[in-house]
Every structure is written in C-alpha cells, then in structure tokens.
Homo-oligomer: A and B are copies of this chain.
Amino acid sequence: MPTYTGAITAFRNVQAEMVGVRQEADGIDLDALDETCQRLRREGRRVKFLYVVPNFQNPTGLLIGREKRRRLLDWSATRDVLLVEDDPYREIYFEDSATEADVRPIKAEDEDGRVVYLSSFSKTIAPGYRVAWMAAPPPLAVKFEMAKQAEDLLTGSFDQRVIYEACRRGILERQLPMLRRYYQEKRDAMEAALKDALGDLVTWPAPKGGFFLWTTMPAQLDAEAMIPRAVEHGVVYVAGEAFFVNAPQTNTLRLSFSAPSAERIREGVARLASTIRAELDSLSVRAEGPSRAAR
C-alpha cells in the first residue's frame, strides 16, 4: 500500500484523488487492484492510471514478480487503464537475490502503448544531475513535452551532455556492477545490525535491490510520534505515514542504507534500537497509569 512520497505530492498538487492498493511479497495484489478499480467505476469515478514502482519500490524495496508483471499488463488492457511505471532503481539489483531478467520493465512488453515509463540517472550517475527520461505513447509524449516546456523551458543542457557522454563512453555500464556490490554490502550491514539489535521487535521484507528497508514495529508504536525520542538518541528516519495515500500504518518506518557507511549503519541501528526500547518502556509505564508512574 505505501508508495513513493514524491509521486504522492506531485499527484496531490494537481488535486488528484488517490486510492492505495494492497501489496503482497511479490508486489501489488492483482485481485485487490481489480476490485478497487471496479468499485471506483461503479461509484462513477474515472480511473486515470495506475502508478507502480515495480523494481525495489521506494519505500518498501519490493519487486513485482515476473509473472505478475505480465498479468499487470494484461489487466491494463482488459480494464483499459494506463500504467505509469516509475523505475529509477532498476540497475540497483543485488546479484545474490535478483537477476537482470527480474527487473525487466513492464514497458518492454508494451505493444499497445498502455505504459508510460519513467526513469532517471539520479540513482546511478548522481542525484545532482537533474536528468531523467520517459518513454510514453506518442500522443501522450507530445503533451508531456508541451507541459514540461511550460514548466521549466528545458532540462539543463550541460547536465544532459555529461550524462550523454557517461552513457556513450560506457562509464555508466562499467560502474553498475560496482554499484550493485556497494549497495548490497550496505543492505547486508543493515540487515545484520537489525537482526542483532531488534530481531525480536521489528520485521521487514528482505530487499533484493534499491536503497531502502521498510520496517514494521510493534503495533503500539507510532513512528511519527517517536521522532523526538529518536532525535534524543541521535538518529532519524522517515516515518512510514508519509508513504500512504490512505489508511497509514503508523508503526512503519523507512530506513535508508544508501548514503551511510557500514560503520554508521551499525551505529544508527544501535541508536534506533535504544529509541524503540525506550519508547516501549515509556508506553508500558503510561499504560500502567499516570498515578503509579508518578509515585
């Protein structure tokens, strides 16, 4: 159900109504999707598109399975719903648990022009180059081009040139295996630290790629409310709430292993563990009643 906050903000800014769909271990739940779509249509609402991040979704790190990708594309044809496939993490798969074939874009099989494919160089070359791309059915691409021009006139031409040369000279291609290993090691560090420090208290789906670890804490904890305590312990995270369009799970948080070193990851997880244990203690004290706690 959670999805990328940047997309949520962008859609909200144009006053779109958003409806979340349940996710399973291999990505979006197709039955829930179809039910939701049909229910919305019965209510007379127009379903404009489905937004998905099939590869290592931000925030959950989930990967939509191969079979499910095919069925998702079939579904979009059957129900005549456009797919918006946002794919910045494709190249960052971990070779111990995913292959190039697992991350093949849905767009690659799109013969009828039902998929708008979005990607970016911000996870592979550098976030500071604001260069991304889109593959869309031509009638839509023309409109997007006009809208983009009205918005920003153009994408920085120097940045585009640098990216172009990095691709043309094979620099990006040579870099990718390194990046996969680099982030996989950080994921390993974070998972090991979490198992050690919080194995009895939190769960997460094992990331097969990407930058994030989506953590679920005991139900009585509220990640948003816990932030001041986390700051006291010298650690921060993104509370899961920001990633939901409706019915947020407040006991979730997104941990990023992309930027910090393995050392810092271990330190951060230790601080997070202290935070969670302190918060649980304080809640159980409060549950026992303020009068006893005050004695």
Contacts and interface: CB of A to CB of B under 8 A. Distances in A.
A153 B127 CA distance: 10
A99 interface: no
Contacts of A261: none
Contacts of A9: 150
A11 to B, nearest CB: 11
A199 interface: no
Nearest to A154: B130
B153 A156 contact: no
B153 A6 contact: yes
B128 A158 contact: yes
A219 B69 CA distance: 61
A266 B159 CA distance: 34
B154 A13 contact: no
Interface residues of A, number: 20
Nearest to A122: B153
Contacts of A152: 130, 152
Interface string A119-160: 000000011111000000000000000000011111111110
Contact of A159 (B10, B127, B158): B158
A17 B129 CA distance: 35
A10 B153 CA distance: 11
Contacts of A126: 158
Interface in A1-19: 6, 9-10, 13
Contacts of A156: 128-130, 156, 159
Nearest to A5: B150
Contacts of A150: 9-10, 13
Nearest to A149: B9
A158 B159 CA distance: 8
27 contacts: A6-B153, A10-B150, A10-B151, A13-B150, A13-B151, A126-B158, A127-B154, A128-B154, A128-B156, A128-B157, A128-B158, A129-B156, A129-B158, A130-B130, A130-B152, A130-B153, A130-B154, A130-B155, A130-B156, A151-B151, A152-B152, A156-B156, A156-B159, A158-B158, A158-B159, A158-B162, A159-B159
Given A13-B151, A130-B152, A130-B156, 15 more contacts: A6-B153, A9-B150, A10-B150, A10-B151, A13-B150, A126-B158, A128-B154, A128-B156, A128-B157, A129-B158, A130-B130, A130-B153, A151-B151, A158-B159, A158-B162
